Structure 1
Amino acid sequence: MKINYYHFACLALVIFAVGCKQETKETSVINGDEIKSHIAVLANDSLMGRKPFTAGETKAIAYISSQFKKEGLEPGNNGSYFQDVPMVEVTSTPSATMSVSGTKGDFSLNYMSDFVASTRQEVQEVQLTKSPLVFAGYGVVAPEYKWNDYAGLDVKGKTVVVLVNDPGFKSGSSTLFKGDTMTYYGRWTYKYEEAARQGAAGIIIVHQTEPASYGWSVVANSFTGAKLYLQEKDKHMSRCKVEGWITEDAAKKMFAAAGITGDFRAIARKKDFKAIPLNMTATVTVKTKLKYSTSHNVIAVLKGTTTPGECILYTAHWDHLGIGKPDAKGDSIYNGAVDNASGVAAVLNVAKAFAQQKERPKRSIVFLAVTAEEQGLLGSEYYASHPIFALNKTVADLNMDALGSYGKTNDFAITGKGQNDLDDYVAEFAKTDGKKLTGDKNPGAGGYYRSDHFNFAKVGVPALDMNNGAESTALGEAYGKQKQKEYGDLHYHQPSDSYTPDMDANGMAQVANLLFKVGNKLANETTFPGWKAGSEFKAVREKSMGGK
Structure 2
Amino acid sequence: MKKFIKSLSLIGLIIVSACTEKTDMEKMMDTVNQQTIKDHIYFIASDELKGRNTGSPEILEAADYIATQLETYGAKPVEGADGYFQSVPLRKKSPATSGSFSYAGKNFNLNDDFLIVDGKSGTYEGEVVYLEYGQAEDYEGADVKGKIVFAKAGDGNTSDRRAILRLSRAKYELARQNGAAGLVEFYNSPATPWAQLGFTFNRVNITLDPEGDDKEIIPHLWLKDLNNANQRFMMTRSLKRASLTIEGMVNEMTKDKNILAMVEGTDPELKKEVIMFSAHYDHIGVGRPNAEGDSIYNGTRDNAIGTVTVLSAAENIAKYPMKRSALFVLFTGEEKGLLGSRYLADNPIVPNEEIVFCWNSDNGGYNDTTISTIVGLERTTASQFIKDANEAVGLEAIDDPAGEQGLFDRSDNVSFARKGIPAPTYSLGFRAFDAEIMKYYHQAGDNPETVDYDYLEKFFKSYVLASRMIGNAPERPFWVEGDKYYDTGKKLYGMN
What's the TM-score, normalizing by structure 1? 0.69
Task: Compare CA radii of gyration and give the structure with the larger one.
Answer: 2
Superposition pairs of residues 193-232 of structure 1, within 5 angstroms: 193-194=170-171, 196-197=173-174, 201-204=182-185, 206=187, 208=189, 210=191, 212=192, 215-232=193-210
Give the aligned partner of residue 3 of structure 2.
Answer: none
- The letter for the 2-side match of 1:160 is A
Give the aligned partner of residue 16 of structure 2.
Answer: none
Give the aligned partner of residue 484 of structure 1.
Answer: 437
Deviation string, structure 1 residues 425-467 (Cα, Å, up to 9, x no partner): 6467668865432354325xx5433322232234332222232
How big is the alpha-carbon RMSD for the aligned residues of Structure 1 and Structure 2? 4.2
Residue 252 (structure 1) aligned to one of 207, 226, 251: 226
Residue 273 (structure 2) aligned to one of 304, 310, 314: 310
* CA positional deviation for 1:48: 2.4
CA–CA separation in structure 1 for the residues paired with 2:326 and 2:410:
24
Residue 334 (structure 1) aligned to one of 288, 291, 297: 297
1:162 and 2:123 correspond: no
Whether contact under 8 Å (2:150, 2:186) holds in the other structure is no
Moved more, 307-316 or 192-201: 192-201
CA–CA separation in structure 1 for the residues paired with 2:293 and 2:383:
43
Give the aligned partner of residue 250 of structure 2.
Answer: 289
Whether contact under 8 Å (2:260, 2:327) holds in the other structure is yes
Whether contact under 8 Å (1:134, 1:278) holds in the other structure is no
- The letter for the 1-side match of 2:400 is T
1:90 and 2:90 correspond: no
Relative to structure 1, is the Cα distance of residues 441 and 457 closer, same or farther in structure 2, using a 3 angstrom cutoff? Answer: closer
Give the aligned partner of residue 20 of structure 2.
Answer: none
Whether contact under 8 Å (2:380, 2:422) holds in the other structure is yes
More helix by share: 2
Unaligned runs of 5+ in 1: 1-24, 142-147, 170-181, 261-275, 472-476
- The letter for the 1-side match of 2:85 is F
- The letter for the 2-side match of 1:401 is D
CA–CA separation in structure 2 for the residues paired with 1:291 and 1:235:
9
Residue 323 (structure 2) aligned to one of 341, 349, 362: 362
- The letter for the 2-side match of 1:90 is K
CA–CA separation in structure 1 for the residues paired with 2:493 and 2:184:
34
1:131 and 2:90 correspond: no
1:456 and 2:416 correspond: yes
Moved more, 278-287 or 520-529: 278-287
Whether contact under 8 Å (2:55, 2:92) holds in the other structure is no
Give the aligned partner of residue 388 of structure 1.
Answer: 349
Give the aligned partner of residue 498 of structure 1.
Answer: 447
Whether contact under 8 Å (1:343, 1:403) holds in the other structure is no
Aligned residues: 455
More strand by share: 1
CA–CA separation in structure 1 for the residues paired with 2:386 and 2:323:
20
Deviation string, structure 1 residues 378-410 (Cα, Å, up to 9, x no partner): 322333333332221011111122352445144
Unaligned runs of 5+ in 2: 1-26
What's the secondary structure of 1:487's corresponding residue? coil
Moved more, 38-47 or 84-93: 84-93
- The letter for the 1-side match of 2:464 is F
CA–CA separation in structure 2 for the residues paired with 1:470 and 1:205:
40
CA–CA separation in structure 1 for the residues paired with 2:211 and 2:348:
17
Relative to structure 1, is the Cα distance of residues 26 and 235 closer, same or farther in structure 2, using a 3 angstrom cutoff? Answer: closer
Aligned-residue sequence identity (percent) comes to: 23
What's the secondary structure of 2:38's corresponding residue? helix
Relative to structure 1, is the Cα distance of residues 97 and 422 closer, same or farther in structure 2, using a 3 angstrom cutoff? Answer: farther
Give the aligned partner of residue 190 of structure 1.
Answer: 167
- The letter for the 2-side match of 1:127 is Y
* CA positional deviation for 1:300: 2.2
CA–CA separation in structure 2 for the residues paired with 1:98 and 1:512:
54
1:45 and 2:69 correspond: no
Superposition pairs of residues 270-285 of structure 1, within 5 angstroms: 283-285=243-245
- The letter for the 2-side match of 1:131 is V
Whether contact under 8 Å (1:407, 1:507) holds in the other structure is no
* CA positional deviation for 1:167: 2.8
* CA positional deviation for 1:135: 5.4
